Amino acid sequence: MLWQTRSYAQVVGTTLSGTVTDASGAAVPNAQVSIKNTATAVTRGVTADSVGFYT
């Protein structure tokens, strides 16, 4: 899985986006993506689109 993040000092949030790929590098359409804040135990999830992209 590849991803990009942006974060700025004194900003409460961030944006996470990327493309889900398999071991061969092919996009994985409609993949479930989740991320967990270990400090708060809050988990957020999204579904990647038809070409594996999520944001």
- Asked if residue 51 has pLDDT above 90, the reply is yes
| Distance from C-alpha of 12 to C-alpha of 55, rounded to nearest angstrom | 17
Domain holding 15, by residue range, is 2-54
Residue among 35, 26, 37 at smallest CA distance from 55? 35
How many angstroms separate the Cα of 20 from the Cα of each of 2, 7, 15? Answer: 6, 21, 16
Separation CA 25–CA 22 (nearest Å): 5
pTM for the complete prediction?
0.69
**Pairwise CA distance, residues 7 & 15, whole Å:** 7
Q: Over 60: is that where the pLDDT of 1 sits?
A: no
Report the pLDDT value the prediction gives residue 4, as an integer from 0 to 100: 56
The pLDDT, as a whole number, for residue 40 is 93
State residue 7's pLDDT score.
54
